């Protein structure tokens, strides 16, 4: 029994470090000196194909998925809507998210969920040529929040119940997000947020922090010849276990039913250029993002489907 517990602790610590390094690379922060110091790494992953295509600017461009990344942006959503997002990451890692929002006076109330699953990882407790077997990891987060128009600015808050399981060990936790945004001019929006704030999570005989992150950004709108309605977005962010990062994205809408997107991420060892497109018809919107990694672990493909209700 002691050997089993010891093996479980070794596997758990290695898995946390591996997942942290993978999430850091995927989120664009490279392997940082504090990688592995935070649990619930899936909270750092984007949940919007539009934001991914625009350089990872999820604070400004998550739309109906804002409940999972930018609560103050909920205040600018009208009516009601539902969204789904799927992403294929490295190896057998898949990510699925959904969100629903509805208008209530000057506020928008929203609910969301996101999950990440990685299976088929080799189980080892030391240097050996043959693995002892395989194990899997999965994460899930359930969120609820609201954004309100307060006149000179918008504000939003969200709370999230989170669960992470690695092999036979798991833990529960909760986190909070808060943000503000403003329109100093009709063509300009600025925003800031603190995300993933909460207490440490206990795994076996160790404690891990949440990947607390701050973000700030701005977006400018203009009508360009041939390109139509266009938006340029810039954003910077940093988590407690990653390097500072920045993203910039340009979206053009040459036709009312089509949007073209391109972006770039700075401070990324895995992803630099990003691209994507969006199609809208009959109340439905289909968004796609391609994040080439330039490494053997493969590219990220993210697709979102949204519907106005």
State the pLDDT at residue 1.
44
For strand 154-166 and strand 169-185, is the pairing parallel, antiparallel, or unpaired? Answer: antiparallel
pLDDT at 131: 67
**Tokens representing residue 133 in the block:** 């077997």
**Contact between residue 92 and residue 118 where contact means Cβ atoms under 8 Å apart:** yes
Give me the pLDDT at residue 10, please: 43
Class of domain 2-308: mainly beta
Q: What is the pLDDT of residue 30?
A: 45
Cβ atoms of 57 and 234 within 8 Å: the answer is yes
pLDDT beneath 70, residues of the chain = 1-37, 90-91, 120-129, 131-132, 204-205, 269-271, 294-297
Query: What token pair was written down for 180?
Result: 């503000």
pTM: 0.84
pLDDT tens digits for range 15-44? 554 454 455 444 444 445 455 567 888 999
- Per-residue model confidence (pLDDT) at position 68: 97
Distance CA 287, CA 302 (A): 8
Q: For 173-191, write each residue's pLDDT tens digit.
A: 999 999 999 999 999 999 9
């Amino acid at each position: 029994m002691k050997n089993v517990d010891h093996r479980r602790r070794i596997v758990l610590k290695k898995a946390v470090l591996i997942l942290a390094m993978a999430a850091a690379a995927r989120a664009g922060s490279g392997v940082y000196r504090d990688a592995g110091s935070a649990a619930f790494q899936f909270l750092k992953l984007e949940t919007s194909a539009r934001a991914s295509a625009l350089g990872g600017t999820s604070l400004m461009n998550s739309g109906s998925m804002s409940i999972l990344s930018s609560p103050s942006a909920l205040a600018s959503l009208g009516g009601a809507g539902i969204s789904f997002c799927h992403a294929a990451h490295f190896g057998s890692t898949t990510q699925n998210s959904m969100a629903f929002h509805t208008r209530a006076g000057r506020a928008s109330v929203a609910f969301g969920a996101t999950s990440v699953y990685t299976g088929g990882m080799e189980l080892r407790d030391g240097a050996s040529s043959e693995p002892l077997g395989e194990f899997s990891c999965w994460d899930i987060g359930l969120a609820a929040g609201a954004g309100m128009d307060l006149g000179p600015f918008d504000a939003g808050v969200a709370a999230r119940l989170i669960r992470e399981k690695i092999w036979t060990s798991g833990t529960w936790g909760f986190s909070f997000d808060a943000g503000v945004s403003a329109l100093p001019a009709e063509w300009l929006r600025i925003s800031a947020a603190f995300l993933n704030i909460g207490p440490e999570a206990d795994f076996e005989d160790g404690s891990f922090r949440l990947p607390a992150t701050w973000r700030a950004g701005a977006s400018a709108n203009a009508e360009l010849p041939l390109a139509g309605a266009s938006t340029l977005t810039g954003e910077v962010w940093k988590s407690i276990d990653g390097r500072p990062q920045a993203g910039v994205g340009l979206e053009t809408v040459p036709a009312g039913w089509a949007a073209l997107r391109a972006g770039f991420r700075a401070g990324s060892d895995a992803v630099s250029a990003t691209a994507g497109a969006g199609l809208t018809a009959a109340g439905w919107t289909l968004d796609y993002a391609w994040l080439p990694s330039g490494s053997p672990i493969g590219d990220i493909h993210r697709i979102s489907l949204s519907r106005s209700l």
